[in-house]
Structure 1
Amino acid sequence: MFLNQSSRVVRQQWRLSSRRLSSLSQQHRARGPTLRTPLSPPFAPPARLFHASRSLYAVKPVLLADIGEGIVECEIIQWFVEPGARVEEFSPLCEVQSDKASVEITSRFAGVVKKLHYEAGEMAKVGKPFVDIDIQGDAKEADLQALAPAEPVTPTEPTTKIENQVAAQLPKQPPPAPPSEHKPAPWSNGVYEHTSPKPQPGEKVILATPAVRYLAKELNVDLLQVQGTGKEGRILKEDVYKFVEQKNAPPAPTPSPFTPSSSTTPTSQQQQETPMLLTRTQEMMFKTMTRSLSIPHFLYADEVDFTSLVELRSRLNKVLAKQPLSLDSATHPVAKLSYLPFIIKAVSMALYKYPILNSRVDIDPATSKPSLVLRSQHNIGIAMDTPHGLLVPVIKNVGSLNILQIAAELTRLQSLATEGKLSVGDMSGGTITVSNIGNIGGTYLSPVVVEKEVAILGIGRMRTVPAFGENDRVVKKEICNFSWSADHRVVDGATMARAAEVVRGIVEGPDVMVMHLR
């Protein structure tokens, strides 16, 4: 009985105390900053008495996406933004260079750039943050509550004992900072402007790709002093290297005012060595060939008679000379056929009979057992000599293309390779490679099998030779050497010889391609 009465008294006192605290809270709302929660009893933990309004912001780390082909890191070539810049969704952030090609990375969010994790020239890891973006205003309140910290606010001057106790435990608000002169941000209309200033009259315009500008920065070269030899005066990497070589060359000896006698012993010049950094393309080739040379190769060479193919190509080019043909607006018009489209088609036709040459070797990491992975599409890589070095773009699904379509794709890839604009998709997915060194020179070669492939064809220079024909008459023939390299772990010499014989038969009798048009 006594306990019940005591409990009722305690509850009544608690209700009176709560009403008074609620009244004090209303007074503070009228006189001072907004309170997020009502005042607690004096014996409650003081840390929960007051809360400030939460700031609505969320810094989102953007991860460098996986761009395929097992690439684990990319080099930052240049940034298009800087901290404080406003970016929109799908607007460019930076340009990166992988082992395959240069790629432009775009933003997945709209917001303000807070931090760049890498400088230009550094290697960024795939799957790791490379830029932080504040997505303020574009995130929902529920998504931001976990990231929004609480800021204390200072209430107005207390008037009661309870308020004095509460206010004594609150941090004092710092005095407002004096107004400073507003500096314009490096962006306008909310979008960061990363455009170069327009050249003034009489100012020299530098035409160079980002890769060339980065190389010049690495070699400490002023591009204004470099004479470009590319199209419309564009500066190429070769121009930068030539400038460095000339700059580091020893000065020419000044002529002596007297003629030395024959008894004067000439002084021997000391050997000079000039270190030179590898270009990005050379670094790619270094890594790829280092991995490829772990594959045991064997070489198979054969002579192929191009006489019939020369006649067929001549007839087709007469037709194309009247009107360049293009199957649709998406392909490049073909004005003249080379021999390479016919060879590429012949290789594809041979792969249907010998699919092992279109496979790759896989090693199970758990059991270390090897296996062969057969691939249905014939994605044939074409080694190209470009101003930027050796590049190997890929013609996809050759089995479904005819000669004209193959020639149009070759034209497109060659144009992009010359301009340094090949994408990752253009450079990836190859299943077998064809290297045409004959257009430069050389009769024989020993090509190196590319990683994730088991065979490669090298084409030598075509030459005119005398040969015995019918009735032992001497006739003129056009001969070309084909040099095959194969992965001897899975391909034996007999299989390679039979496949090479199929290719030779198609090239020497090109009319058979008509029966395999798709």
Structure 2
Amino acid sequence: MFWSHGSRAVRQQWRVCKTLTRRVAGASLDPLSPLSPSMARAFHAARPLLAVKPVLLADIGEGIVECEIIQWFVEPGARVEEFSPLCEVQSDKASVEITSRFAGVVKKLYYEAGELAKVGKPFVDIDIEGDANQQDTTTTAAAAPPPNPPPVVAASPSAEGTAPTPTASLTESEAAAAAAAQSEPAGRPKGKHATLATPAVRHLCKTLNVDISEVEGTGKDGRVLKEDIQRFVAQRDARAEPAAQPEAPTPRPAAGGFGSPESALASGPPQETRVPLTRTQEMMFKTMTRSLAIPHFLYADEVDFTSLVQLRSRLNKVLAASGAGSAEASAAEVAKLSYLPFIIKAVSMALYKYPILNARVDVDGSGSGSGSGSGKPSLIYRSHHNIGVAVDTPQGLLVPVIKNVGARNILSIAAELARLQSLARAGRLTPDDMSGGTITVSNIGSIGGTYLSPVVVEREVAILGVGRMRDVPAFSDVPGEEDKVVRKQVCNFSWSADHRVVDGATLARAAQVVRTIVEEPDVMVMHLR
């Protein structure tokens, strides 16, 4: 039996060997055969690594899906290093610099300045294996022809004696422009931030139809300022004035000032001018549309600032004396206190007693606050008091946030407030400076309003509007002198709250706490942290 089984195995092996021999010898070269030599000797290669890396626009803030390209710091062919700035973008009222993730050569820019870039999509390609030294880039830039070479050559100062007479087709404005071009030195160097400007300046450029690259900046490192734009427009209008005299003037909306009735009657038929919303106005449009879906109710109160005025005056004298005697005072120190830090601190102290005003509404009960209505509504209480402060800026209303006010004293609040206001007016707020707010304070009294009805910000339940402080006659509070009329400084506080979760009695009690602290500011000393 052993030999029979062994012989069968040997015969099977022998048949397999003969089959393989015939196939190798060419007897059967069927490519579909599983034992085909072509299939047996097939090699597989891994996917090659791409040298050009697309850089994706990262998420720079909660809920931001697109942002505007304000300024490019690079151009195709330029060498960049890791973490070097690529561009500046503006989204949700904040400007952010985007840095490079790779070191290499810029191959492609997906957007031009002023266009909207999508978050999560490529906005620049970088060749990580490329190499472009500074000498090659300079040589390429030098070899590139100027934008308009013929007018510059024709108006060259060196050929003044032999220059031909301008033709009849050359208008006076073009001749003035050529004269201005030859008066400027060719190849005038610009600063590294020559075309970098704040969003307000760029909006002014769009409004006045000005190319910012043509404007000579007088700011730091050649930065273009608003005054530079106005000066450029004045010079441009002055050069074009002779050619525009025969034509009838086009009516324009008044930019400011008071117009006379005669000029209004002589301006012709009424006209309408369509102006697109700025980026800041678009965000305010969307935010206020969502905010006004919240059921509001208003509560107003009158607060006596007399004691606070006296305390602020004494503290400012102390700050002035300490600042004058300290030659090494840091830039973060406050030179003068306003009333707003005291109000912000008073609001924070009231939030400890009424934390519902520091909460937010979760409509669907999932914690995301998306408002889909699929679950049971709930309140989410927040431990930190992040108080937003409305700031009037050239580009519009911005609301930076002072973080963790409960752990700050008056000087710390004032220093942070001054920092945020400075960044807001310069258009340099970051998304972190404007996110995470739990309640808002709007001080319209700095402009002059006495009463207001503020709108509750989305993801918050209350807002305080502060009116203008004014002097009023009132009866004295001193015992025995109740019939005596004295002068008091009075200010109106206007509260708005989400009536879905906050009732009038709760808001009135919280407002009373704020009023007591402001009217007796010495109470703050007992609650300093």
TM-score by length of 1: 0.71
Q: How far off is 1:368 after superposition?
A: 3.9
Report if aligned partners of 2:218, 2:228 keep a CA contact under 8 Å in 1.
no
Q: How far off is 1:452 after superposition?
A: 0.8
Q: Does 1:323 align with 2:322?
A: yes
Q: How far off is 1:448 after superposition?
A: 0.9
SS at structure 2 position matched to 1:471:
coil
Partner of 1:68: 61
Q: How far off is 1:346 after superposition?
A: 0.3
Relative to structure 1, the CA distance from residue 292 to residue 7 in structure 2 (aligned partners, 3 Å threshold; closer, same or farther) is closer
Q: What amino acid does structure 1 have at the position aligned with 2:74?
A: V
Partner of 2:359: 359
Partner of 1:108: 101
Partner of 1:400: 407
Partner of 2:121: 128
Counterparts of 1:228 and 1:437 in 2: how far apart (Å)?
A: 34
Q: How far off is 1:372 after superposition?
A: 1.0
Partner of 2:7: none
Partner of 2:349: 349
Report if aligned partners of 1:348, 1:378 keep a CA contact under 8 Å in 2.
yes
Which deviates more, 284-293 or 111-120?
111-120
> Out of 472, 476, 481, which is 2:483 matched to?
472
SS at structure 2 position matched to 1:333:
coil
Task: Please show how residues 196-215 of structure 1 align to structure 2 within 5 Å.
Answer: 209=197, 211=199, 212-213=201-202
Q: Does 1:449 align with 2:456?
A: yes
Relative to structure 1, the CA distance from residue 348 to residue 52 in structure 2 (aligned partners, 3 Å threshold; closer, same or farther) is closer
Counterparts of 2:232 and 2:513 in 1: how far apart (Å)?
A: 45
Relative to structure 1, the CA distance from residue 473 to residue 2 in structure 2 (aligned partners, 3 Å threshold; closer, same or farther) is closer
Relative to structure 1, the CA distance from residue 227 to residue 368 in structure 2 (aligned partners, 3 Å threshold; closer, same or farther) is farther
SS at structure 2 position matched to 1:44:
helix
Counterparts of 1:46 and 1:11 in 2: how far apart (Å)?
A: 13
Relative to structure 1, the CA distance from residue 356 to residue 230 in structure 2 (aligned partners, 3 Å threshold; closer, same or farther) is farther
SS at structure 2 position matched to 1:489:
coil
Relative to structure 1, the CA distance from residue 511 to residue 245 in structure 2 (aligned partners, 3 Å threshold; closer, same or farther) is farther
Q: Name the Cα RMSD after superposition.
A: 4.3
Partner of 1:216: 205
Counterparts of 1:330 and 1:431 in 2: how far apart (Å)?
A: 30
Counterparts of 1:251 and 1:302 in 2: how far apart (Å)?
A: 52
> Out of 68, 82, 86, which is 1:93 matched to?
86
Q: What amino acid does structure 1 have at the position aligned with 2:350?
A: A
Q: What amino acid does structure 1 have at the position aligned with 2:88?
A: E
Q: Which runs of 5+ in 1 are unaligned?
A: 18-40, 139-182, 189-197, 254-265
Counterparts of 1:235 and 1:383 in 2: how far apart (Å)?
A: 23
Q: Which runs of 5+ in 2 are unaligned?
A: 1-9, 27-34, 140-183, 252-264, 365-371
Report if aligned partners of 2:197, 2:224 keep a CA contact under 8 Å in 1.
no
Q: How far off is 1:349 after superposition?
A: 0.3
Q: How far off is 1:91 after superposition?
A: 1.4
Relative to structure 1, the CA distance from residue 235 to residue 215 in structure 2 (aligned partners, 3 Å threshold; closer, same or farther) is closer
Note the alpha carbon deviations across 1:245-283, whole angstroms, 9 max, x for none. 999997299xxxxxxxxxxxx988200222222222222
Report if aligned partners of 1:462, 1:481 keep a CA contact under 8 Å in 2.
yes
Which deviates more, 77-86 or 296-305?
77-86
Q: How far off is 1:117 after superposition?
A: 3.3
Task: Please show how residues 488-503 of structure 1 align to structure 2 within 5 Å.
Answer: 488-503=499-514
SS at structure 2 position matched to 1:271:
coil
Report if aligned partners of 2:89, 2:96 keep a CA contact under 8 Å in 1.
yes
Q: What amino acid does structure 2 have at the position aligned with 1:333?
A: E
Q: How far off is 1:387 after superposition?
A: 2.1
Which deviates more, 442-451 or 361-370?
361-370
Q: What amino acid does structure 1 have at the position aligned with 2:528?
A: L
Partner of 1:420: 427
Q: What amino acid does structure 2 have at the position aligned with 1:251?
A: P
SS at structure 2 position matched to 1:289:
helix
Relative to structure 1, the CA distance from residue 414 to residue 200 in structure 2 (aligned partners, 3 Å threshold; closer, same or farther) is farther
Partner of 2:249: 251
Which deviates more, 482-491 or 219-228?
219-228
Report if aligned partners of 1:392, 1:427 keep a CA contact under 8 Å in 2.
yes
Q: How far off is 1:228 after superposition?
A: 9.3
Partner of 2:38: 44
Report if aligned partners of 2:442, 2:464 keep a CA contact under 8 Å in 1.
yes
Report if aligned partners of 1:109, 1:135 keep a CA contact under 8 Å in 2.
yes
Relative to structure 1, the CA distance from residue 78 to residue 465 in structure 2 (aligned partners, 3 Å threshold; closer, same or farther) is same
Q: How far off is 1:203 after superposition?
A: 8.0
Note the alpha carbon deviations across 1:394-440, whole angstroms, 9 max, x for none. 11000000011111111111111121111111111111111111111
SS at structure 2 position matched to 1:323:
helix
Counterparts of 2:248 and 2:387 in 1: how far apart (Å)?
A: 47
How many residues were matched structurally? 429
Counterparts of 1:404 and 1:320 in 2: how far apart (Å)?
A: 10
Q: What amino acid does structure 1 have at the position aligned with 2:270?
A: Q
Q: Does 1:235 align with 2:234?
A: no
Q: What amino acid does structure 1 have at the position aligned with 2:526?
A: M
Partner of 1:179: none
SS at structure 1 position matched to 2:309:
helix
Report if aligned partners of 2:401, 2:436 keep a CA contact under 8 Å in 1.
yes
Q: How far off is 1:108 after superposition?
A: 1.9
SS at structure 2 position matched to 1:97:
strand
Partner of 2:334: 334
Q: How far off is 1:374 after superposition?
A: 0.7
Partner of 2:445: 438
Report if aligned partners of 2:390, 2:399 keep a CA contact under 8 Å in 1.
yes
> Out of 501, 517, 521, which is 1:506 matched to?
517
Relative to structure 1, the CA distance from residue 85 to residue 366 in structure 2 (aligned partners, 3 Å threshold; closer, same or farther) is farther
Report if aligned partners of 1:359, 1:431 keep a CA contact under 8 Å in 2.
yes
Relative to structure 1, the CA distance from residue 458 to residue 366 in structure 2 (aligned partners, 3 Å threshold; closer, same or farther) is closer
TM-score by length of 2: 0.70
Q: What amino acid does structure 2 have at the position aligned with 1:289?
A: M
SS at structure 1 position matched to 2:269:
coil
Counterparts of 1:242 and 1:312 in 2: how far apart (Å)?
A: 49
Which deviates more, 412-421 or 301-310?
412-421
Residue identity (%): 69
Q: What amino acid does structure 1 have at the position aligned with 2:101?
A: R
Which deviates more, 384-393 or 120-129?
120-129
Partner of 1:78: 71
Partner of 1:273: 272
Relative to structure 1, the CA distance from residue 76 to residue 224 in structure 2 (aligned partners, 3 Å threshold; closer, same or farther) is closer
SS at structure 1 position matched to 2:446:
coil
Report if aligned partners of 1:204, 1:224 keep a CA contact under 8 Å in 2.
no
Q: How far off is 1:72 after superposition?
A: 1.9
Q: What amino acid does structure 2 have at the position aligned with 1:342?
A: F
Note the alpha carbon deviations across 1:291-345, whole angstroms, 9 max, x for none. 111111111111000000011111111111112399x988611111111111010
SS at structure 2 position matched to 1:510:
coil
Report if aligned partners of 2:73, 2:85 keep a CA contact under 8 Å in 1.
yes
Partner of 1:118: 111
